[in-house]
Each structure stands twice: as structure tokens, then as C-alpha cells.
Amino acid sequence: MPLFHRTGWRLITALAIVLILGIVIASRTSSSTASINHAVSAAPRSNPIIEENSKPGTDKWKSKNFDAYLQNLSDQERLEHAAANRSASDQGGGNAAPAAWVDAQQIKGYANKQSVNIGETITFHVSASVPAYNLTVIRMGWYDGNGGRWMAEQDNIPGTDYGIPAPDPVTGMVEANWPAAYSLTVPSDWVSGVYMVWLTPTDYSSTSYIIFVVRDDSQVADILYQIPFNTYQAYNEWGGKSLYDYNSEGGRAYKVSFNRPYAQNDGSGLWYGGDYDMVRWLEMNGYNVTYATSEDLQTNPNLMNGRQMFMTNFHDEYYSWHMYDNLMSFRNAGKNLAFFASNNIYWQVRFEASPITGQADRTLVCYKKQTDDPNSTLDPMLTSDTPQYTTVLFRDAPVSRPESLILGTLFENAVGYGIAFDWVVKNADHWIYQGTGLNENDAIAKLVGYEWDRLPSAPTVPNQTMLAQSPVQGPPYNWVQESSIYTAPSGALVFTASTNYWAYELMGNWFWPMDTRVRQMTANLIAHMTNSTVPTSTPSPTPTNTEMPVETETVAYTPTDVPSETPTNTVQPSYTPSSTTTSVPASAVPSSTLTYTPSRTSTMTRTNTATVTRTPSRTNTPTRTNTPTITRTASRTNTPTRTNTATVTRTPSQTNTATRTNTATRTNTPTITNTPSRTNTPTRTNTPTRTPSPAPTSTPSVGTFYRAVNLSGPAVTVGGRTWEGSTAGQSNVSFSGVLWSTVCNQSVTLIPSTDSSTAQMIRCAYLMWYSTLTMSSIPNGNYNVYVWVWEQDTSTSTYTLSFQGGQALQLNYSPGSRGHWQRLGPYAITVTNGKITANVSGDPAYISGIELYRR
């Protein structure tokens, strides 16, 4: 693989955060935190999000693997697009080698619904290889940065292992069909949101989750936020099958079931790499938001009644015909749509009932196209009376409904996950850039990737303004990303970000810096789409555990007409949908009755004055007053002591319970702190960060020597120990990812100097860029790892090393100028699957050797 010159397109690891001067608000006292200010409608509207997030939260729900969720983000996505980059066409990653799925969860489960309305009942189906486990229900949100609040719990539940079902031999579908372990009737005072069932053994030695959404169908809200569970399920390889070849054994499935756990991130699916950041940011800022799922968009054509803005944030890729119809109806009724991602509305799917239970909408169908023949599909719907339901790309026949008819953009391409490019501003005078300080052709670092859209030549939408036109360039890439907003004839605004990294820069994490300009752009969009103020933002300091000062704020707002947009593309739609739309028999897709009843459209003229006084206090342990109903259901006679149905009603309690007192007087919307919960360099108490030793020693500092490998050369003696060679794939060492290549340069002077055999080993290395080194055939156990690195390039690099998916980290390491080398470590890791992995992200790294010591 050819090398590249790093200058000009290497990933930048530091971003100068631009300080944006906000509007001076009358009567505002000083505060240690910055805020985004916004007002709601003239008539005060109840906002349960503010009250809910003022309650005491906890971070005790976090798994010991939590940092790995955030640092690896969606590893599924990274693998998929690495596979797609090696494929001739992205029909499901067809040329990627399938990976063997391993069930690593002691406890796992799923809910019988994607979402549940308040007052209704949801059941949880759990299989456990431990004698007993605890079940806790947690609402996800902001909660002063804690991220969750205890809602209900049940302890010491007997565990039963129900095994892993085999895939269907025809469709590949895996359906668990485990008996119901518990039923929860959702109390009427629970607030709509994303909820997690936290499953732990009674000794708390591991963690797994079940994710679901609580709806409040009667809630009047500014924002309807959709969790794209269709996308979560499409990538879910639990049981060895997903809709993708790259993580399916024996080829991808054509149908996947919601009646099974999520394999990713301890059962939480793609939540942490997908919707987590946007939801935290919305609730941190007190936006009036209510939640729904893919299935709700499928079954409820009245979903947007009482709501102004439909929002989806994460890779909303899989849509049914009825989801498409409903979204189009919302827009045509004047509802605003915002897609803070790319690759939306891409594959058409169908919902089917479970073949085992008969429950509607529990099966997701997507045959896609055949990789070896992109013009064919095995979907039997193609030759039926309703071929428009065939599960191929929306833009392809016989569906022929390009996503650009709603989005204004078409998906173009993808690079390896984690590769990022600058967002380049277009039409800087547009109101989305108000208060950002951005000018024409200015750049926002790292905002574009790993997928992106472009404005199509046809079919197009009217009144469209391009907001970004960003080069996606650098060998072998030579494309352009384009973002846009348009005004539909109904007056609805439709925004598409055309990138999958947007929310990461709202909150910031180990790789993506928080950017106040992205926050301001998001706030501007929400303000215009919900008829509220145009807010301003300023940079936010690192959060602390101290109490926040009392804030008193007066916001006066007299709305003016939104400035007319200068369209860059005013061509009327040239695409005419298939005439078969109106003649589809209802029996073809029996999941919903599509009768759209638009809500009352109101025109608001307002002058708001909101006074907010907040005296929040902080505590770590909540006192709960809700009494949810949890019903334990026993349906197997082989489960001890569970032969009848018992109703357990209890008020959840916690040890060390503290009482929180909130004093808050609100009129309309208060000031919500705009503070990220995480800095760019997370603190991990279980990750050793050592000063690298400048030279090898013959006696290891920790553990008993096990083996060492010269990654790009023959066997060699280093520090008195014999190292294995790794030429031609020896020593069970392999590489995967975006770029890995052997680089040898024996002419460079090493700093510090060393003996000749060690120098020869150092100066032949693997250049790794967003790639992973895997050592296999490693006995399970505890190890200390040392890694030998050096700088061969003339420019300085900075990168992050991650071991075992985040068990140990070397954050933002820079080896120095050319010729400098170091022996990094030790990094304490645990091997449970016979493999050791080391991942490189950031700038390219030169990795020469690796040493293992048994602990």
C-alpha cells in the first residue's frame, strides 16, 4: 500500500475553540458556567424536561466498559465501512470476511416493545447464566452531568439460561423468544425519554442493558426526537446474524428480529456512539423534547400532532414505505424536519410480525441487493402485486423514491470510521451561522465524516440553500460533502447535516473537541424550527461537582420575520413518484392504518419576558417517590419458585439516601448550563499511564516475560531476550482498518542511541493509521504490554493508542521529532478471547515491536 505525505490532510488533534461574544442579557448575574438561552411560546407550555433534570441523578449505572463505548464509539460502523472500502459496492459489506460472534454477556435481555406509552405495560425477557441478578430501570438524560436517574428496581431475581437459538436456515433470522421475566407498568408521572434496564449479577461483577423508550403521546412539545432503532437492529449481530456480511457468520440475514438482545456495548446497541450526546445536550439545555422510535414513525401518522420539529440524529438509514409516507405528510403539513446525520432514508425495509409469537412489527426485513449482481435481489416482494415494497435502496427501482425528495440531499460515500474532514462554510450570512463568527469558506475541524451526502442534480427540492461544501480529499479520497436547508411549499424547514459527526462536537469526547460554533448552529436551527429565540452561546468550562450559583435572568424577545433564503438551487422537483402509491392494498403491509390528521396550525406573534431563578443543589443519591408496578411473570416450570404470577409493588430505595431540595421559580424557559460532561482527555482510574522508559532492560519491570514480536522484521535479540519475527504474517499477528504498511528507514539517527540489533528493529516498523493490530493465540489471563514506537516522519505526530477496546489507553501521545523512539508501557490488560488488540487513532503511528508479560 503506498505511503502518503501527512502534511495537509492528517487529522488535527487540537482545535482552537473560538470564543463567541453573546448578547448581554439584562439583569443577569455572573455565573461560572456559560449558557444557551432560549424562550418558548407566548403561552406558557409545560416543559417536563426541565423539572425532570432538576431531580438528583447518578452515574452508578455506568458499566466498567463505559469509557470504551465512547472512545471506540460505534465500532460496528468503523468495521462496516472498512469492509465497504474493500468492496466494489456497498450492498452489505459483501466482500468482508465474516467475524465469529461470541456471546460474552452473563446476563442479556430485550424488551417486547421499542417504546411504551405512560400508563402502559412493557415486558423484559432475560436469560442469565448467573444464579441471581438485579434489575434497575434508569432514565437517561443530563441530571447535572450524571447522565441517569434511578426509577425502579427489583433485586435478587433467579437467573435461568435459555441458550442461543439457531438462525433460520432460509432468512438467517435469530429470534430468542425467551419467556417474560418482568413486566413494568409505566407510572403516569414518568417523563418521556430513553430508558435503560440495568442488569447486574448480585455481586455487580458485570453489567448489561436493555434499551427502550417511554412515550407520552399526549405531551405537547417543541421537538419530537426519534431514536432510530431500525438502524440499531440492522447492525446488531447477536446470535451471529445482522443485515451485514462483515459481522454475520455464513452471510448476512435477510430478516432480523427485535426479540433478541443487542450485541454491542453490553446490550445498549448503538446508543452511546449514536444518540447519547445529542440527547444529553438537549436535556442539558432544557429543550422541550419528547421521544419516539422507528416503529412509532411507522405506525402513528399523528405522531407530530402538538409537536413542531421532527429531529433524528444518528444515521437514520432504514425506513419503511409508511415511515417515508408519514415523514412526507409531516413536512407537507408544515412540520419542520432536522437530520443531524448522513446516509438517512437509504434502505427500504418492511416490518413483519414475529413468526413465533405473532406480535406485529417485531421483524425487520431487508433483502438488499446481491453483491455479485447489484441489479438483482432475492426479495420475493419484487414479483408480487406490491413491488414498491421491495427492500432495496429508496432511489432504485421498483421503489423509485430517492431520499432527496425529503432530505434535499443524496448519500454519496463513506470513509473509514474515525477519519474526519473540515466543514467548509457556504452562505455564511444564513441565519444558521448567526452568532458563530464564521465567515465564507471558514472551516470547522473534524466535523465531516465518516459518511456524507451531496446535493443531487435531480431530483431536487425548491428554495434550497447550501450550507457547507467540504472537500473530502486525500489519497485515495476525492469527493465533496454538501449540507443544505430548504423551505417546502408548506413553509416547513428541512435541514440535513450530511455528516455523522455532528453530535460529537456538541459535547466533545476523547477525539472530537467540543465546538461552541456547532452548538450555536444547533441552537439556531432549533430556535427557528420551534418559533423560539435565536440563542447565543459561549465556551463552556470543565464541569465541577460544586453547587451552581443562583441565576436570575430576564429575556426579552420581539420576533421578526425570518430573512428570506437565497437559494442555490431553485429548480422544482423533476421527479414524479410512482403512480402505484395510491393503489397499494392495505393487506400488503398490515402494520398501520395511514390516516393523517394534522394538528392545528398556529401563527405566533410574541414578546416574551422570562424570569428564571434557580438554586439547584447537588447530591449523588436520589430519593424516589414514584411507585412503579413491576410484575414478575413465570412461564417456565423449570424456573425454581416461579410457578405463579406474582405482583411486586415497591418503592425503590437506596442506601445512603440523600434528600435533595430544589428551589426553582420559572416562567417559560430557564437558563440551562451548556456544560459538557466530558473533557477531551477522560480520566480513567483503571488505566495506567506511565512515563515510557527510554531504553529496554533485560529484566521486566512488571510480570514474567511471555513473548515479544518484531512487527516488521526477522527474529532479533533485544535487551537480552529473543524476539520473534513477524515477516509474511508470522507470529499470529494481523492488521485491519484504514491503513497499515511496512516502513523501513535504517538511515535515520535514533534518539537516544542504542545497540545495532535494537536499532534495526526500531527503524523497521508498521505505519498504522486508524487501524488495529491483533495478536491471536494468546492464553486468557492478565498481561502487561509494552509497545515500541518511533517517529520516522519529519513532522510531529500525535495519536492515541487503545488496548483491548479501551481497557488501557495512551491518550494524545507524541513521540517527538524525527528519530525519537520510546518503549511505552506497561499497559495492564485482560485477555478473555485469546486475542490482544491495539488500535491507533489520530495521526499515523510507527509501531516497531510489542512485548507481553504475564501478571
Give the least confident one: 73-77, 237-241, 277-281, 419-423: 73-77
What was the pLDDT predicted at 727?
55
Give the least confident one: 128-132, 600-604, 788-792: 600-604
Question: What is the average pLDDT across 96-124?
Answer: 88
| pLDDT above 50: residue 807 | yes
The long-range contacts involving 578-581, CB below 8 angstroms and separated by at least 24 positions, are: 578/388, 578/398, 578/399, 578/400, 578/401, 580/386, 580/387, 580/388, 581/388
Question: What is the average pLDDT across 663-679?
Answer: 36
Higher pLDDT, 221 or 625: 221
What was the pLDDT predicted at 98?
53
| pLDDT above 80: residue 518 | yes
What was the pLDDT predicted at 742?
82
Domain 35-40+131-596+628-673 part of CATH 3.40.50.880: yes
Question: What is the average pLDDT across 58-85?
Answer: 63
CA atoms 364, 369, 375, 378: torsion sign: negative
- Residue 515 DSSP code: -
Distance between start and end Cα atoms, the chain? 37
CATH topology of domain 704-854: Jelly Rolls (2.60.120)
Question: What is the average pLDDT across 212-241?
Answer: 97
Task: Using the structure block, give the residue that is written with the C-alpha cell 429470534.
Answer: 175
Higher pLDDT, 598 or 245: 245
Question: What is the average pLDDT across 24-30?
Answer: 31
Q: Which tens digit of pLDDT belongs to each residue from 358-368? A: 999 999 999 99
What are the helix (H) ranges across 408-507? 502-507
Residue 792's nearest CA partner among 738, 720, 845 is: 845
Q: Which tens digit of pLDDT belongs to each residue from 132-185? A: 999 999 999 999 999 999 999 999 999 999 999 999 999 999 999 999 999 999
**All 3 cell numbers of residue 578?**
410512482
> In a 10 Å sphere around its CB, with 0-12 CB exposed, 13-18 middle and 19+ buried, how is residue 480 labelled?
middle
Q: What is the DSSP string of 227-249?
A: E-HHHHHHT--GGG--SSGGGST
Contact of 321 with 233, CB cutoff 8 Å: no
Secondary structure (3-state) at 529: helix
* Range from 422-426, 611-615, 682-686 that averages highest in pLDDT: 422-426
| pLDDT above 90: residue 113 | yes
Contact of 497 with 483, CB cutoff 8 Å: yes
What was the pLDDT predicted at 372?
60
Question: What is the average pLDDT across 696-704?
Answer: 54
What was the pLDDT predicted at 719?
87
Mapping DSSP onto H, E and C, the string for 808-825 reads: EEEEEECCCCCCEEEEEE
What was the pLDDT predicted at 767?
86
What single-letter amino acid sits at 259?
N
| pLDDT above 90: residue 647 | no
**All 3 cell numbers of residue 316?**
437514520
What was the pLDDT predicted at 384?
95
Name residues whose C-beta falls within 8 Å of residue 333's C-beta, 6 or more positions apart in sequence. 304, 490, 492, 596, 598, 599, 601
Question: What is the average pLDDT across 756-780?
Answer: 89
CA–CA separation, 663 and 670 (whole Å) = 13
Backbone angles phi, psi at 404, to 5 degrees: -65, -20
- CA distances 380 to 102, 244, 592, Å, are 32, 19, 21
Higher pLDDT, 203 or 425: 425
**All 3 cell numbers of residue 547?**
453547587
Report the share of the chain in percent with pLDDT over 90.
Answer: 54
Q: Which tens digit of pLDDT belongs to each residue from 354-403? A: 999 999 999 999 999 876 666 788 999 999 999 999 999 999 999 999 99
* Range from 555-559, 801-805, 808-812 that averages highest in pLDDT: 801-805
Question: What is the average pLDDT across 341-365?
Answer: 98
- Strands 733-744, 721-725: pairing is unpaired
- Residue 569 DSSP code: B
pLDDT grade for 71, boundaries at 50, 70 and 90: low
pLDDT grade for 62, boundaries at 50, 70 and 90: confident
CA–CA separation, 481 and 468 (whole Å) = 7
| pLDDT above 90: residue 699 | no
| pLDDT above 50: residue 681 | no
What was the pLDDT predicted at 494?
99
Rg over alpha carbons for the chain, rounded to the nearest Å, is 27
Domain coordinates of the chain in residue numbers? 35-40+131-596+628-673, 704-854
Secondary structure (3-state) at 537: coil
| pLDDT above 90: residue 473 | no
- CA distances 771 to 29, 191, 351, 512, 581, Å, are 49, 42, 36, 18, 46
- Strands 646-649, 629-632: pairing is antiparallel
CA atoms 607, 613, 619, 623: torsion sign: negative
| Per-chain mean pLDDT for the chain | 76
Residue 319's nearest CA partner among 414, 397, 228, 237 is: 228
Report the share of the chain in percent with pLDDT over 70.
Answer: 70
pLDDT grade for 20, boundaries at 50, 70 and 90: very low
pLDDT grade for 63, boundaries at 50, 70 and 90: confident
Secondary structure (3-state) at 853: strand
What was the pLDDT predicted at 287?
97
| pLDDT above 60: residue 604 | no
What was the pLDDT predicted at 839?
87
What was the pLDDT predicted at 557?
27
pLDDT grade for 544, boundaries at 50, 70 and 90: very low
| pLDDT above 70: residue 847 | yes
Give the least confident one: 270-284, 290-304, 694-708, 726-740: 694-708
Contact of 140 with 279, CB cutoff 8 Å: yes
pLDDT grade for 246, boundaries at 50, 70 and 90: confident
**All 3 cell numbers of residue 715?**
527474529
pLDDT grade for 64, boundaries at 50, 70 and 90: confident
Give the least confident one: 119-128, 326-335, 651-660, 833-842: 651-660
